[in-house]
Amino acid sequence: MTDFFNQFNVPFAKAMCYSGFRNGQQPGGIVPSYEEIKEDLLLLKPHCNYLRLYDCDEHALTVIKVIRNEKLDFKLMLGAYIVAEMNNHGCPWGGGIYEEKQLEENREMNDQKIQRLIEWSNQYPDIVFCVSLGNEACVDWTDHFVPVDRVIEFAKRVKKSIKQPVTFCENYVPWLNYLAPLVEVIDFISIHTYPVWEYKHIHESVEYTIANYQMVAKQYPQIPVVITEAGWATNSHGRGIHVEHVNEENQKIYYEDLMDWSIKNNILTFFFEAFDEQWKGSPDPMEPEKHWGVFKADRTPKLVFESLKVLKTH
């Protein structure tokens, strides 16, 4: 297996997926302020040095400004959140169907996002240490489907224009088959692995994640494989995730076991995610999409990081 840190000459450190949208905020709407993002990054500072951002948007630009102005020790995986360029009738929740005019507008938008990814990577090379061309846009259940050939086109364009390593973030399954042509034009593979979504019990969860990782790594020994999403929800309404499987105790177990494994094996692993985000998923307050953070939406720590409460009282 090829080691990301040695391959690209960056130091090993813990990593976290970060999206700072608070209650009443969401992508395309009200975004977090400079001071809100500063508060978030100071909370995350003791726990990680690498952050994954999902889009080249106003939120990401503010994160970059906070890191630079406050001289914080963070490096970023900067992403471009590419949106649907084809309809996906296989999306299980009924999304993924668009008028042709919308798809054409989306193609233009994606080109603009990729260009912005290039520009910001070159403008902030001291902060952006790698880039992602998209997020879960090729898996068969996605609501924002983009053909593999188009992602390959993006990869070639970006690699010609920046010095940072380039990847694409996707569920582990597509890497085993139809994303194989993409592997030829990116610098490293980024997989997502969620045992709890696949009805795994906490006591078999990390072993399942390791198995997911090893399947991909063994198929492509010539290229580094990293984990850009792996996490454990703390609430569920029972659809998609069994209620009895999700709580803060299980999240703590999964986090600690996953970090132990990634440290021992020198594998870059972005835990999903930093903060609960109430804008996600259905209106149901127990919707699991809202409850993946290691911090609650009000910025109080869950059990996995609860020692922070002790630090604040002394």
CB 241 within 8 A of CB 196: yes
In this prediction, residue 300 carries a pLDDT of 97
Burial 238-276, CB ≥16 within 10 A → b, else e: eebbeeebbbbebbbbbbebbbebbeeeebbbbbbbbbb
Average pLDDT over residues 261-268: 98
Predicted model pTM: 0.96
In this prediction, residue 118 carries a pLDDT of 98
Is 307's pLDDT higher than 90? Answer: no
In this prediction, residue 2 carries a pLDDT of 82
Is 313's pLDDT higher than 80? Answer: no
Residue 95's pLDDT band (cuts 50, 70, 90): very high
Is 115's pLDDT higher than 50? Answer: yes
- Considering the domain delimited by 4-312, tell me its CATH architecture: Alpha-Beta Barrel (3.20)
Other Cβ atoms less than 10 A from the Cβ of 145: the count is 25
Classify burial at 101, counting beta carbons within 10 Å of its beta carbon; exposed 0-12, middle 13-18, buried 19 or more: exposed
Using CA atoms, how far apart are residues 85 and 101, in angstroms rounded to an integer? 10
In this prediction, residue 6 carries a pLDDT of 96
In this prediction, residue 309 carries a pLDDT of 53
Mean pLDDT of the residues in the chain: 96
Percentage of the chain lying above the pLDDT 90 cut? 96
Using CA atoms, how far apart are residues 129 and 75, in angstroms rounded to an integer? 6
Spell out the residues 6+ positions from residue 271 whose beta carbon is closer than 8 angstroms to its own. Answer: 14, 15, 16, 17, 48, 230, 231, 255, 258, 259, 294
Find where tokens 């969860």 sit.
Answer: 205
Residue 312's pLDDT band (cuts 50, 70, 90): very low
In this prediction, residue 258 carries a pLDDT of 98
In this prediction, residue 243 carries a pLDDT of 96
Classify burial at 284, counting beta carbons within 10 Å of its beta carbon; exposed 0-12, middle 13-18, buried 19 or more: middle
Average pLDDT over residues 178-194: 98
pLDDT digits (tens, 9 = 90+) for 26-82: 999 999 999 999 999 999 999 999 999 999 999 999 999 999 999 999 999 999 999
Angle between helices 100-123 and 148-159 (to 10 degrees): 30
Find where tokens 């668009």 sit.
Answer: 98
242: alpha, beta or left? (left if phi > 0; alpha if psi -120 to 50): beta
Which residue in 93, 186, 212, 192 sits closest to 137, CA to CA?
192
Which residue in 115, 121, 151, 120 sits closest to 136, CA to CA?
151
Sign of CA dihedral 175, 180, 186, 187: positive
Beta pairing partners, 270: 15
Residue 310's pLDDT band (cuts 50, 70, 90): very low
In this prediction, residue 314 carries a pLDDT of 32
DSSP label at residue 15 = E
Residue 311's pLDDT band (cuts 50, 70, 90): very low
Of the listed ranges 87-101, 214-228, 296-310, the one predicted with least confidence: 296-310
Domain ranges of the chain: 4-312
Look up residue 102 and give its amino acid: Q
In this prediction, residue 170 carries a pLDDT of 98
pLDDT digits (tens, 9 = 90+) for 118-161: 999 999 999 999 999 999 999 999 999 999 999 999 999 999 99
Residue 94's pLDDT band (cuts 50, 70, 90): confident
Of the listed ranges 4-8, 125-129, 177-181, 310-314, the one predicted with least confidence: 310-314
Look up residue 199 and give its amino acid: Y
Per-residue tokens: 259: 């970090």
